[in-house]
A and B are shown apart, each in its own frame.
Chain A
Amino acid sequence: MTTRPPGIHWAPAVLVGRAARTAARLRKRGGGSAVPGLVVNKLSPGFLGSVLSHFPEGLVVVSGSSGKSTTTKMLVTVLEAHGKRIFTNPSTANISQGLTSALLERVSLTGRIDADMAVLEMDEGHGALLSPQFEARTVVLTNVMTDQIDRFHDSEKVLAYLRQIASRATDKLILNADDAMLMRLADAPPEVEESPQAPSRNHHADASDASDASTLQSLFDEAGPGPAQAPRGAGTPTVELFGVSEQVLAALPRGLGYAETTVARFDGGTMVTGVSGRSASIAFDGAIHEVGLPARGIHYAVDAAAALAAARSLLGDGFDAAVAVAAISAMPAVFGRGEVVTVQGKQVEFVLVQNPASFQLNVDELDEGLDQVLVAMGSDVADPSYFWPVDASRIGRARIVTGSKAQEMALQLIYQGVQVDEIEPDLAAALDRFLALPEPERGVKTIVFTADPMRRTRSHLGLAQ
């Protein structure tokens, strides 16, 4: 690695970052601003990579289309239960500016963080862009979904990004054996790319992300990608697999939702052998363990298998299966599918759908026969036709379909047999009418929305973003 080690030379960057953080907090109560990270990345492009590469027990990077956030949380929980002190990032800070901001919360003036190990969730595109700057002991890749809302055009591009992230693994590559695209990384161990391919920057929906991307770009423009990477000392990483058994897959009418699913199931590794409600049977090291999940659904079980596979490999002889299983089982439950808020004295459940896979998962878990559902699709969905493979018929009846893509969403719902009472593209008007409806006879008022109407809904209702 060519990153600078920690030292007093990072003090100016840290101080500037802290000042920016204070300033941002004064302007916007509650913090969470990405500005400090942006400032520091601009001022000291090598800072992030330096901090990331100098944890005593190394860096673990978790990436993939979906499940990276839950997998990261579970892995951190298991490692902490084994007495490790872990630095991790909140899931909202999985791109470089957010990562740097998160580091600034904890870093010393010399650019060190008092923790044994870092476990970081990284966005695929930003992780690829950052990859020349870090070396990771372990890389965990969850899956490649055909999440084409607007970002990457196709799954091949996502795989290319993940390949770059995987190329930074020195020790272990932990892969989803059911994902045929990821398994191509196991067949041909990723090579260090000579010059990183920057993810497309012209396709971002929101400005904050784009501004981060241009900061990243300026990083490369000014500093270049750095000298050719030193060859990896430890050679190619070994591959560890996780996934589901034949019976589990056979019981899923819609499969796992990956862009491509492997034809054959694997043997060994860490395998989900059964799922029932909020518990899963997960087999490893010749025994089957009953693991409690934070929410219902196969995807949480697969996330737990990924976290257990990573923890086993990171902890080696120090891994205690009973401790690990107890730690995951004790994680707080995710309430329903989403967040329940009280607005104007009425309970409303928010269900965020970020891609076709999460749309399907969330709709499948809705209570049947809900009589008050509002569905909102916004301009964050560039092409609503990607959602058509989602069978939304379980919604049954949508009181209002709203958002700038309301007509498109309604068209799909009508063809799928959902009763659509009203189409109102104006989100604010739709929300007001929906909230004014009398209390539902069944369940709670439920709002299913994509990311853009989610932000607008929260803002219209005066809720924290």
Chain B
Amino acid sequence: MTHRILQLFPELTNVNGDGENALALARRLEWAGADAEVVPLAEGDPAPGFSPAAVVLGSGVDSALERTRDALATLRGQLTGWLAADVPLLVVGTGVELLSRRVELPDGAIDGLGLVPGEATALPGRVAGDLVVDSAWGRLFGYENHGRGLTLDEGVTPLGGVVRGAGNGTGSDGIRLGSLFGTHLHGPVVARNPRFAMALVAAIAGDTIDAYAPGRADAVADAVNAATARRLDLS
């Protein structure tokens, strides 16, 4: 069977390359011997008639927030259903914000879908730079570039604790809620963080494949992260 990785509205949400996590997941599945394909869903397309193996939603520019929210709203029923069915959802940056209840903007706020129990609120200033997060899958490395943080409701679990950078702006980053993984680590977080990727691949394919076999790119990712850790003086 072919694992179909649904990439949501890449024309609106791939500004930082977050949408390419769909490619990264598909490639890792292929490297493990499974069939996989990326299925992009464009704004205005009908909801997919299949249940995806995983869903990737990335980050976009502020001027496209409302458009993206409206596009997502047409999928509300599907998104709720996929979460109930434990389909992994990897959501980055403004993607997480739009799934929360509310996104604070300089000239008012817009409503999100309310699937994530929290709100996106303005940080004291825009942050851009390395983001390092200690998570259940070890130390995650990446880059952040955003002006808002994420205030989660009491008792909601973040993805991890911030070692460097801003993340949610509260000392932690992202959200972990059932099969939803949200983060401010933008760009190809899956490619950059092999152990996190292995966990997602395992959640997609179960024990039909060896999800924990390192991909051939993992040594390169480890080298990138080791260099970042040295540069940031992290032990």
Contact = CB atoms under 8 A, between A and B. Distances in A.
B128 to A, nearest CB: 6
B109 interface: no
Pick the 3 closest A-B CB pairs, nearest first: A385-B187, A388-B17, A388-B20
Contacts of A410: 220
A447 B63 CA distance: 36
A411 B224 contact: yes
A386 B16 contact: yes
A153 B63 contact: no
Interface in A26-40: none
A153 B64 CA distance: 16
Contacts of B35: none
A146 B20 CA distance: 16
A386 B144 CA distance: 11
Contacts of A417: 27
Contacts of A360: none
Contacts of B11: 255, 261
Interface in A145-183: 146, 148, 153-156, 159, 181
B20 A414 contact: no
Nearest to B30: A417
B188 interface: yes
B61 A386 contact: no
Interface in B9-40: 10-11, 14-17, 19-20, 23-24, 27
B223 interface: yes
B151 to A, nearest CB: 22
Contacts of B61: 146, 154-156, 259-260
A385 B185 CA distance: 10
Interface of A: 146, 148, 153-156, 159, 181, 255, 259-261, 382-389, 407-408, 410-412, 414-417, 423
Given A146-B61, A153-B128, A385-B186, 18 more contacts: A148-B15, A148-B145, A153-B126, A153-B145, A181-B63, A259-B15, A259-B61, A260-B64, A261-B11, A387-B17, A388-B188, A389-B19, A411-B188, A411-B220, A411-B221, A412-B188, A415-B188, A417-B27
A415 B224 contact: no
A155 B17 CA distance: 15
B227 interface: yes
Contacts of B63: 155-156, 159, 181, 259-260
Contact of A389 (B17, B64, B145): B17
Interface in B35-89: 61-64
Contacts of B20: 388-389, 415
A383 B62 contact: no
Contacts of B191: 411-412, 415
A385 B62 contact: no
A423 B220 contact: yes
Given A388-B188, A411-B188, A146 B15 contact: yes
Nearest to A259: B61
Interface centre among A148, A255, A384, A408 (most CB of B within 10 A): A408
A414 B220 contact: yes
A156 B62 contact: yes
B232 interface: no
A159 B15 CA distance: 16
A411 B187 contact: no
B134 to A, nearest CB: 20
Contacts of A407: 220, 223-224, 227
Contacts of A411: 188, 191-192, 217, 220-221, 224
B230 interface: no
Given A154-B62, A255-B11, A415-B217, A385 B188 contact: yes
A408 B224 contact: yes
Contacts of A261: 11
Contact of B143 (A156, A255, A385, A416): A385
B139 to A, nearest CB: 17
5 contacts: A156-B61, A255-B11, A260-B61, A383-B143, A407-B227
B125 to A, nearest CB: 11
A80 to B, nearest CB: 38
A416 B24 CA distance: 8
Nearest to A420: B220
Contact of B24 (A154, A383, A415): A415
Contacts of A416: 23
Interface centre among A155, A384, A385, A423 (most CB of B within 10 A): A385
Contacts of A415: 20, 23-24, 27, 188, 191, 217
A64 to B, nearest CB: 16
Contact of A388 (B128, B187, B223, B224): B187
B27 to A, nearest CB: 5
Contacts of A146: 15, 61
A385 B224 CA distance: 12
A309 B64 CA distance: 28
A332 to B, nearest CB: 36
A2 B141 CA distance: 52
Interface string B185-199: 011100110000000
A389 B187 CA distance: 9
Interface in B179-235: 186-188, 191-192, 216-217, 220-221, 223-224, 227
B150 to A, nearest CB: 18
A147 to B, nearest CB: 11
